[in-house]
Each structure stands twice: as C-alpha cells, then as structure tokens.
Amino acid sequence: MDTASKLIKSWMNNAGLIATVDPMQNVIGSWPSENASSPSIHLGSHYDTVINAGKYDGPLGLLLCISAVEILRLEGYEPKHFINILGFCDEEGIRFSSTFLGSSYLCGTFDLNFLDNRDSEGNTMRELLESRGMDTSQFNKAKPLISKDDLFLEPHIEQGPVLENLDLPLGVVTGIAAQSRIHVSITGKSGHAGTTPLELRKDALTTAAEMILAVETLFDANSNARATVGQINNYPNAINAIPGKVEFTIDLRHPVTAGLNQLKEELLEKLNLIIQKRDLPCEIDFLQSVDSITCDRGIQKAMNKALAKHQKSVTSFTSGAGHDTLKIAQTCRSGMLFIRCRDGLSHHPDEYTSPEDIRVALNAWVDVIRELDQNFPES
C-alpha cells in the first residue's frame, strides 16, 4: 500500500496538485487556488482491490478525477470552491472484514469497533495501525477533512450489465443499496471418517451447508435482494476427518434499509431453526451494517446535464454495489457516475472498460466538475 500511495501522490503532483498521504494511507490532492472558498468539492474513489481482482474497480475513478482536474488546470480554469481529489486506502474491507476505512476516517466517522477485528494471521487492526505509529485513541476527535456542507463526487465502473444492455457509456446513480455482513461460526466435533457412525456425528460442515442453502432459498424469493456466502473456512479440512468447525460469511444487500432489516430477521429465524435441529453450538455475529442512501438531486441534475452533451440519452438507476459514496453520503451531499464495463463483470481479472468509454467519461466528468463548481446546489 505504501508503494501505491506514493505512486498516486506523484501523479497528483504531476497534475499540479499539492498531494499528501495521511497516516491511514489515504492520498489527498488539493487544487491550489487563491480565489477558492468553502464549502469544498471532493472528488475521488478507492485504490484498493479484492483478491484476484481487475484493475478498473476504484482506480479508474481516481485516475479520471486526477485527469479531469489536470485538464481544467491546463485550460486555465479558476475554481470558485476548494477542490480535493481523494484516493481512499481501503473501501473493500478484505483484510479485516470491514469496509470504507479510508473514507470514514476522512469523515471523522470511523467505526472504532473495527480496531478489534483480526486478520487471517490473528493481528488486530489496532495493532497494525499502532505499529505504523498511529494513535488510534485520537480517531474521530480531530476536525475531519470532509464536512457536512461539502459535496462528494465519485466516478466508478458500473460492475453490472445495465449500461451495456442500454448501449450507453455512462449512467447517473440515484442511490446505493443497504448492505450487511454476517459471520457464522459452527462448532461440531471432529472424528475419523471411517469409524464414526452417522448418528453419532456432529458434522459442522453439513450444518453449514444446510444454512447456506437456507440463505439461497430465502433470497431467491426476493428478486430485489442479494445474498452471497463468499468465504468458508473448514477445520481440520482433511479428506478423512469429520469437520469439527466451520466459519463462513454472508453478504446481504437490498435497495432500502427496511427491506434488508426484514430479510435479516427472516434469515436469522431460519438459521436458528437449523441450529436447534442440529444441536450444535453456533455463533452469529453481525460484522457491519450500512443503510441505503439517496444521491443528492442537485448533483444528479448536474450530471444529467453533462451527460446529455456526450451520449444519445441519459439513464439513472440504483447501485447494488457499495461504494465510498455510501459512507460519505452520511456526512455530506454526494453523487456518483457509472461507467460501462464489459459483460458487467467486476471483482475478476477480466474486468474491462474500453478506452472509448473512458474518453467519454473523462470529458463528461470535466463538465460535471465545472457545472457544480459554478452552480453549487443549494441544500
């Protein structure tokens, strides 16, 4: 991460920005201007990735922001408002089963409970950050960079098929779905695969399998919702041993918070019935929940106006994927631009956005920034 943040900092400096890296490894590039004033306009996205990922999810949006500001500077444009480009250190939350670490830190809303989360090697986040010299006791106490009167704008690949199906390079995001992450730990009893009778087994893996199928069945009946069991750890994970312990995660999504909460209650009932039937110790921990948000209508209006100059029609829709915008919208008015990606594929090495679509996105993004700077929307 240190190498990546230094590289991004150099790109920002080359674009004429004053760039710094904060202790969390967020990269902040400020447009130097004598005439600019508050409130600020923040532009950016994350630069971390998931395991076995592509190269467009996050970094493309950050590079578009740097390039757009560089174009405006070369044109001699003088901003009315302070403009910052933000490269967030950790949006995906892979290592510590947490999300939005970089953006929440800059908003002063960092979830302090995350500090006790452990990675696969047993290290807590607190231990890692303090080994870097950070004083975690001061989190959320200083005045944050992002304040309630500011605007935040994020360009990002769609990670879905809507724009490709409509044959449009760009789309405006109206809101982002609520999401929740759950960790399930089942304790059975390991034993010999060839000698332990079926009626005496306490198989943690077959219990987990039944629970995973319950997740699929419930959410298959709710077309607007999404549920994914994405991580499983099985112990002792031997071909000739009955599984004695299984841990797995559940990722839940729904367009609105109330809908997600209802489905969580229904799911918990189903899982508890399986636990009672199987009679095995089980712990269900809710790692994280984030409410759905609606993107600012003034920002949406500016984006619609800009996109109309660059493509045959303008479309708007809700994002099922979470983004830093989801977190930052809890602090200030926010908006997102989606960019078409091939086959709607993301979190995969074959993730791809064409140079042609990137060019359209860059030109439109320059217009979005200029429009919002000149006509800052009223609250």
Q: pTM of this prediction?
A: 0.84
Which residues make Cβ contacts (< 8 Å) with residue 323, sequence separation at least 6? 45, 91, 154, 156, 176, 336
Q: Do residues 43 and 85 make contact, with C-beta atoms less than 8 angstroms apart? A: yes
Length of the chain: 379
For 92-138, the pLDDT digits (tens) are 888 888 889 999 999 999 999 999 999 989 999 999 999 988 899 99
Q: What is the pLDDT of residue 321?
A: 85
The average pLDDT across 325-338 equals 96
Position 377 pLDDT exceeds 80:
yes
Q: Do residues 376 and 81 make contact, with C-beta atoms less than 8 angstroms apart? A: yes
Domain borders along the chain are 2-177+292-374, 179-290
- Is 1.10.1050.10 the CATH classification of the domain at 179-290? no
Strands, E assignment, the chain: 18-21, 27-30, 37-46, 81-88, 151-157, 170-176, 178-187, 226-228, 232-235, 245-254, 282-290, 293-294, 316-319, 333-339
Report the b/e string of 118-136 with b at 16+ CB within 10 A. Answer: eeeeeeebbeebeeeeeee
The dihedrals phi and psi of 97, each to the nearest 5 degrees, come to 50, 45
For 299-317, the pLDDT digits (tens) are 999 999 999 999 999 999 9
Give the other-Cβ count within 10 Å of 277's Cβ: 10
The average pLDDT across 187-201 equals 94
For 247-272, the pLDDT digits (tens) are 999 999 999 999 999 999 999 999 99
The average pLDDT across 342-357 equals 95
The average pLDDT across 268-277 equals 96
Q: Residue 164 and residue 160: Cα distance in Å, rounded? A: 8
The average pLDDT across 268-291 equals 94
Q: What is the pLDDT of residue 256?
A: 93
Q: Which CATH architecture has domain 2-177+292-374?
A: 3-Layer(aba) Sandwich (3.40)
Percentage of the chain lying above the pLDDT 90 cut: 87
Q: What is the pLDDT of residue 1?
A: 67
Q: What is the pLDDT of residue 139?
A: 92
The structure tokens listed for 237 are 């994970």
Q: Residue 67 and residue 14: Cα distance in Å, rounded? A: 10
Q: Residue 251 and residue 229: Cα distance in Å, rounded? A: 6
For 28-84, the pLDDT digits (tens) are 999 999 899 999 999 999 999 988 889 999 999 999 999 999 999 999 999 999 999
Closest CA to 35 of 77, 93, 88: 77
CA–CA–CA angle 98, 104, 107 (5° rounding)? 175
Q: What is the pLDDT of residue 70?
A: 97
Percentage of the chain lying above the pLDDT 70 cut: 100
The average pLDDT across 159-166 equals 96
